[in-house]
Chain A
Amino acid sequence: AQSVTQLGSHVSVSEGALVLLRCNYSSSVPPYLFWYVQYPNQGLQLLLKYTSAATLVKGINGFEAEFKKSETSFHLTKPSAHMSDAAEYFCAVGSAGGTSYGKLTFGQGTILTVHP
């Protein structure tokens, strides 16, 4: 079985501040991990993904995430927030083995608010 927990349903930062969105996963086999972003009235778009290569993954719009197996975490960061980063962010886990067969399990989502 696989699952994802996103810590904090709402995160608020000032423009220019560090963005940190937390994601912890559970998987019985080596995981594949994804971060998606959803802007208002739109579908989800891929930000970045981890597929067992480098543990530090760089994505679009200046975001990056680090896979830490010992902590079962895949937190999303951005050094300097921009107003356009305001959106809902979803972490997702998948696995090639077990019973999940390529499916993704999504976290509950974190709404990021950026203040001027």
Chain B
Amino acid sequence: DADVTQTPRNRITKTGKRIMLECSQTKGHDRMYWYRQDPGLGLRLIYYSFDVKDINKGEISDGYSVSRQAQAKFSLSLESAIPNQTALYFCATSLGLGGRVVPETQYFGPGTRLLVL
């Protein structure tokens, strides 16, 4: 079984709809991240969480919100979807060693392809 899973894998929605993307991990990692990938732009960080009580905005958080329901679960919501949120979304995790802030290897889920009409 995959260590980092994302649901759904594909989603089509309409402008103005609320949508939630879910991420679960069995790696026992403390840190979780949400990225979006757009062609030619690489990956951009939306939100990240270093533990259950810690949520931080990334570089492109406008129009998104997150919830860290447990160590293993981190959900991304689009409150009112718009077409320019059409993208490939990735969840990632990293170990997190106590108070360290050293950049660690991140482990990625398979992605969710979202189309907003």
Real binding pair: yes
Residue of A with least CB distance to B91: A43
In the complex, A107→B37 CA distance in Å? 11
Q: Are A107 and B42 in contact (CB under 8 A)?
A: yes
Q: Are A102 and B103 in contact (CB under 8 A)?
A: yes
Interface residues of B (CB under 8 A from A): 4, 31, 35, 40-45, 48, 50, 58, 90, 92, 100-111
Q: Which 8 A-B pairs have the closest CB atoms?
A: A94-B103, A43-B108, A102-B101, A106-B43, A32-B103, A106-B42, A44-B108, A108-B42
Residues of A within 8 A of B109 (CB): 43
A43-B110 contact, Cβ under 8 Å, with A9-B40, A106-B42: yes
A46-B111 contact, Cβ under 8 Å, with A90-B42, A103-B48: no
Chain A residues numbered 77-107 whose CB sits less than 8 Å from any CB in chain B: 90, 94-96, 100-107
A109-B103 contact, Cβ under 8 Å, with A42-B110, A43-B111, A103-B48: no
Q: Are A102 and B111 in contact (CB under 8 A)?
A: no
